[in-house]
Amino acid sequence: MREILEDTHDGEHHFGANRMLHDLVSVLFDRKSATVKSYVRHCQVCVENQISRQKTPGKLQPIAVIPIPGHTIGIDFVVGLPVVKNSRIWATPEGGFDTLMSVSGQFDKRTIAIPGRTT
């Protein structure tokens, strides 16, 4: 089986699995499509010469800020902070706080910091 695959695939311009299955229809008694697809997927030459068929991503576009306070917000997380076990503002969970979530209005720049835990 391996010799047939090598002759068909490596000897003929490294065609894809569908083309190989079409070419091997007379040779293969049962359709071993999984074997053929696996062989093509792991072919070193094909893997090295694979080209990306994805569309090139464009430039990032900024989010339009609508002049209404609180309409558009940004959320950031600050993690890995020293543990705070006592808070006068927030009810402290067991183990204390070690993270901050910052919520900022994109128009008026008001920011709220909410403590939390990473786990």
The smaller minimum CB distance to Zn ion, of residues 2 and 59, is found at 2
CA gap 55, 51 in Å, rounded: 12
Contact pick of 22, 38, 41, 45 for Zn ion (by CB under 5 A): 45
**What are residue 103's phi and psi, to 5 degrees?**
-115, 120
Query: From the CB of 23, what's the least distance to Zn ion, in Å?
Result: 14
Say whether residue 43 binds Zn ion (CB under 5 A): yes
Part of the chain binding Zn ion (CB under 5 A), chosen from 14-22, 23-31, 77-85, 88-96? 14-22
Say whether residue 14 binds Zn ion (CB under 5 A): yes
CB 79 within 8 A of CB 72: no
Q: Which residue do the tokens 């490294």 mark?
A: 14
The smaller minimum CB distance to Zn ion, of residues 46 and 73, is found at 46
Contact pick of 4, 28, 46, 73 for Zn ion (by CB under 5 A): 46
Say whether residue 17 binds Zn ion (CB under 5 A): no
115 CB-near residues (< 8 Å, 6+ apart): 84, 87, 90, 97, 99, 100, 101
CB 117 within 8 A of CB 93: yes
Q: What residue ranges bind Zn ion (CB under 5 A)? A: 14, 43, 45-46
